[in-house]
Amino acid sequence: MGVGVSGIVVCHGVAAVRERLAAAASAVPSFSSVRTAGDASELLRHARVAPPALVLLDAHLPGPGPIETLRQLRQVSQRTVVVVLAEKGDEVALDRAITLGARGYLTPEATSSDLAAVAAHIFAAPVVPSPTVPVAHSPGLRTAPSPAGGDREIELTKREYEVLVGMSNGRSNNQIGQDLFLSEDTIKTHAQRLFRKLGARDRAQAVAIGIRRGLIS
């Protein structure tokens, strides 16, 4: 293992959260170093100096946001494991991150025990740099649901596609209806048909499937 490969970078936009998680990580012997970053540029600087084994990435990271930050990080280090720091309601951002290769998520209240469990898992097995790697399971690490759909061709109507795009942009049914000059009930009907076609349980999974199947980007 090279310099820094067993290190961790806590990347969060809120200093208090960042420092608390860094303190929790410092209590985990598996991490050879603990660094912090308040934004994407600082995270990428750390990665260029010494690619970390693990990055805890804020689902609400300021600047380019977590998804673009994850894309840029992948250009610097393919082997770094990314775990998203997410709360309830962050499902769309989380599923987009999972699509790009994030391994799962923790809440920002994660403890040293949670981080130790994650470390034990990611250091126990090699990391394959692929966005289609199955999400790993370990104590304390929550994972996003795997989408259905298989390899069958999915054909969406114009409205269903527009609803899916709206969901991917974080728009509510009411907001999508306003964008398309349709009632919220009509949007809900299109959404239900969309879910059936995609084999999705909810809008977050629908977006994840849409990205994986190349329906949206």
pLDDT in tens, 75-87: 999 889 899 998 8
Question: Which pLDDT score, from 0 to 100, does residue 33 have?
Answer: 93
- Number of domains observed in the structure of the chain: 2
* CATH number for the domain that contains residue 13: 3.40.50.2300
* CATH number for the domain that contains residue 183: 1.10.10.10
Query: CA-CA distance, 87 to 58, in Å (whole number)?
Result: 10
Query: CA-CA distance, 48 to 127, in Å (whole number)?
Result: 19
Query: Which residues does 35 contact at the CB level (< 8 Å), separation at least 6?
Result: 7, 8, 9, 10, 22, 46, 52
Checking if the pLDDT of 187 tops 60, the result is yes
Residue 194: inside a domain: yes
Is residue 191 domain-shared with residue 99, that is, in the same domain? Answer: no
Indicate the Cα dihedral angle 26, 104, 9, 85, nearest 10°: -90
Is residue 12 domain-shared with residue 94, that is, in the same domain? Answer: yes
Instruction: Tell me the H-state helices in 3-111.
Output: 15-26, 40-49, 65-76, 91-99
Residue 132: inside a domain: no
Question: Which pLDDT score, from 0 to 100, does residue 124 have?
Answer: 59
Residue 130: inside a domain: no
pTM: 0.61
Question: Which pLDDT score, from 0 to 100, does residue 141 have?
Answer: 53
Is residue 179 domain-shared with residue 89, that is, in the same domain? Answer: no
Rounded (5°) CA angle 19-123-99: 75
User: Which of 23-37, 70-84, 125-139 comes out lowest in average pLDDT?
Assistant: 125-139
Question: Which pLDDT score, from 0 to 100, does residue 209 have?
Answer: 82
2, exposed or middle or buried, with CB in 10 Å at 0-12, 13-18, 19+?
Answer: exposed
Greater model confidence, 91 or 59: 59
Summary mean pLDDT of the chain = 81
Which range marks the domain in which residue 188 is found? 158-212
Helix (H) / strand (E) element for 84: namely strand 81-85
Rounded (5°) CA angle 181-187-191: 150
Question: Which pLDDT score, from 0 to 100, does residue 50 have?
Answer: 93
Query: Of the candidates 94, 122, 150, which is a domain's last residue?
Result: 122
User: Which of 45-59, 142-156, 157-171 comes out lowest in average pLDDT?
Assistant: 142-156
Query: Of the candidates 122, 141, 168, which is a domain's last residue?
Result: 122
Is residue 162 domain-shared with residue 118, that is, in the same domain? Answer: no
CA nearest to 99, candidates 132, 137, 65, 126: 132
Is residue 17 domain-shared with residue 112, that is, in the same domain? Answer: yes
CB-CB contact of 6 with 123 (8 Å)? yes
Checking if the pLDDT of 101 tops 60, the result is yes
Checking if the pLDDT of 107 tops 70, the result is yes
Checking if the pLDDT of 145 tops 50, the result is no
Checking if the pLDDT of 149 tops 90, the result is no
